[in-house]
Amino acid sequence: MGIAAVWRKNDNKRGHKLSRTTHLHIGFAAIVFSAFLFLFGIPQGVSAPDDISEIVLSPKFWPLVLAGVLALGGVGMVLASRNLNNEDHEGFLNGIDGAKLRLGLMAILMFGYVTIAPVLGLVWTSMIAFVLYAFLIKTHHRVAAGIAGVLAPLVLYAFFAHVAGVAVPQGDFVRLP
């Protein structure tokens, strides 16, 4: 069975909710992982000088923000689980074949990104990866995803290269100003 056949088979199963138990497990796992990041991962893995005047310029700031968002998401999933029943949702379970396929394709996409980024540069590679990812998740907003896939890396490049003064790795073929 080809990729398109698996996707078509699972298209009618979109929109099924996870069970209450699954929400609880994922929520608690997110909270525990966030606590690990707050207590050990970020303090031990990210070094930052003590004399940083602006907190947002600290190398530890954005990892801490992401760990906080992860914790809030986990709390949200635990709280949302109170409104769900604990029955298994067969639509979700039957869609696992398509999910495994997309997961495998996502791994290939990530490997390709890491492999091609030194050659094409981060901006061009990010544009291609964003558009391919939008195709992979089968978004219904293809035009918006295409526009965002091109504009987001360009705007981020413009900010980091021209405002923040941070060198963004560029490729060998096309260099941005």
CA-based max dimension of the chain: 59
Per-residue confidence at 161, pLDDT binned at 50, 70, 90? confident
Per-residue confidence at 127, pLDDT binned at 50, 70, 90? very high
Q: Report the distance separating Cα 46 and Cα 24, nearest Å.
A: 30
Confidence (pLDDT) at 95: 54
37-51, 69-83, 86-100: segment of lowest average pLDDT: 86-100
Cβ contact 15:84 at 8 Å: no
- The answer to whether residue 91 scores a pLDDT higher than 60 is no
If we measure between CA atoms, which residue out of 156, 154, 160 comes closest to residue 176? 154
Output the DSSP codes for the chain.
Answer: --HHHHHHHHHTTTTPPPPHHHHHHHHHHHHHHHHHIIIIIHHHH----TT-SSGGGSTTHHHHHHHHHHHHHHHHHHHHGGGS-----HHHHHTHHHHHHHHHHHHHHHHHHHHHHHHHBHHHHHHHHHHHHHHHTT-S-HHHHHHHHHHHHHHHHHIIIIIS-PPPPB-SS----
Confidence (pLDDT) at 17: 59
Give the predicted TM-score (pTM) of the model.
Answer: 0.53
32-41, 86-95, 117-126: segment of lowest average pLDDT: 86-95
- The answer to whether residue 88 scores a pLDDT higher than 80 is no
HSE at residue 6, side-chain half, CA atoms within 13 A, is 13
